[in-house]
Copies of this chain bind each other. A is one copy, B any other.
Amino acid sequence: VQAEIIAIGSELLTPQRLDTNSLYLTDKLNALGVELAMKSVVGDDRDRLEGAIRDALQRSEILLLTGGLGPTEDDVTRDAVAQALGRPLVFREELLEAIRERFARIRRIMSEINRRQAYLVEGAEALPNPNGTAAGQWIRLDNGRVIALLPGPPRELKPMFESHVLPRLEPLLPPKVLRTLFWRVAGMPESDLDQLISPVYTKYTNPVTTILAAVGDIQIHLRCRCDTAEEGESRLAEVASQIEPLLGDRVYSRDGSPLEVVVGRMLQAREATLAVAESCTGGLLAQRITSVPGASGYFAGGFLVYTNRAKQELLDIPEELLERETAVSDAVARAMAVAARDRLNATYGVAITGYAGPDGGDEKNPVGTVFIGIATPAGSSARRIVFGGDRDRTRQLAAQTALDLLRRALSA
């Protein structure tokens, strides 16, 4: 079974806006075993939309329309669907009543133009909208195809889809069970990861494997649609048993949690605390750690020591050491981590110092070089990494790598 999405609104044809509703809808459709055949964006143009609806109904069994259900002349979806199906629009007193009540609740007077929202395509069921004045519509055609008209704002569309479209779609589809597996992996470029695991996953079309890469962070999804839960589990297990050994300890999460949450849980479980000292990342690492609610339970605090002077003043890194080794060095990274840990009486200390660019760097350590120091109750160590890419990317990779090295230290 195939579906199609048409998003309606001239603002979605500007350089600023994308139709993000379609991502949400695709996810929901895929979970039902429905694939997306095509999606399109049409402006507030009735005739063009009518044509797009006709084209889509020739290709796909399910057509979802989003947007264009407002009260103004620009809102053309109702008219375009009526035209495409050759059916009239019919006025529904009870819809007008619902709109009027909504206005009364927020102590405003309904404007005359809102009457337009009380019209349904003949034969359509109205879908209630608790978060707005635009009712949705559900139309089942004689040939079995279905059309749903949904409002554009996500906070109106999503609850309407869950409560009123899903329950109407499900009985029309062959029953399927969905089973998923999920890994998050740090410390590997996407291309390397793909080279590593694609010989396995390309052998299978069910489960489907999706790889989603952010800077220094990769998510791997396996999604299996089967007739029974057992079949789904066993298909997933077959693929997982081949992929897991390849990934090894690079996997940091199996439940979708980001690295800062995983590290936070590990610290908490050990009743340990963490102090940081950041030079080139300037707060990026701490910002991620403290983005987790409850971080005060394990984050002892930290030092933003972007300059050599700050390293001396706040962490007592000896001037002589900074001159001899430079600030971007194994020795200084370790000294920073140790000092942060000591100052805050923390169990662990993590330090980042590097050349994020675009300027800086020297022959030995070019732009992109970062040293990450880790201080533990057992001592200190540092790791040198050279990242490619721009300033922003280097900073993000440095923070991500620091979290990952801390995770490994905590696992040891």
Task: Mark A residues whose CB is within 8 Å of B.
Answer: 13-16, 18-20, 22-24, 26-27, 30, 35-43, 45, 48, 51-52, 55, 59, 210, 212, 276, 278, 280-287, 289-291, 293-296, 299-307, 309-310, 313-314, 343-344, 357-359, 391-392, 395
Contact of A304 among B14, B16, B276 (CB under 8 A): B276
C-alpha spacing A22/B306, complex, angstroms: 39
Instruction: Evaluate contact between B287 and A296: CB separation under 8 angstroms.
Output: no
Instruction: Evaluate contact between B301 and A306: CB separation under 8 angstroms.
Output: yes
Instruction: Evaluate contact between A40 and B43: CB separation under 8 angstroms.
Output: no
Instruction: Evaluate contact between B283 and A304: CB separation under 8 angstroms.
Output: yes
C-alpha spacing A229/B24, complex, angstroms: 44
Instruction: Evaluate contact between B313 and A307: CB separation under 8 angstroms.
Output: no
C-alpha spacing A395/B288, complex, angstroms: 11
Name the CB-closest residue of B to A286.
B283
Least distance between A227 CB and chain B CB atoms (Å): 23
C-alpha spacing A15/B357, complex, angstroms: 35
How many copies the complex holds: the figure is 2
Specify which chain B residues have a CB less than 8 angstroms from the CB of A300 in the assembled complex.
307, 309-310
A-B contact pairs, 6 of them (CB 8 A): A13-B37, A39-B41, A281-B290, A282-B299, A291-B392, A314-B343
Specify which chain B residues have a CB less than 8 angstroms from the CB of A37 in the assembled complex.
13, 43, 45, 48
Q: Indicate the member of A27, A40, A289, A395 with the most B CB atoms within 10 Å.
A: A40
Name the CB-closest residue of B to A31.
B15
By Cβ-Cβ distance, the 7 closest A-B pairs, closest first, are A282-B290, A283-B283, A301-B310, A283-B286, A15-B27, A302-B304, A40-B40
Instruction: Evaluate contact between A282 and B293: CB separation under 8 angstroms.
Output: no
Specify which chain B residues have a CB less than 8 angstroms from the CB of A395 in the assembled complex.
291
Name the CB-closest residue of B to A36.
B13
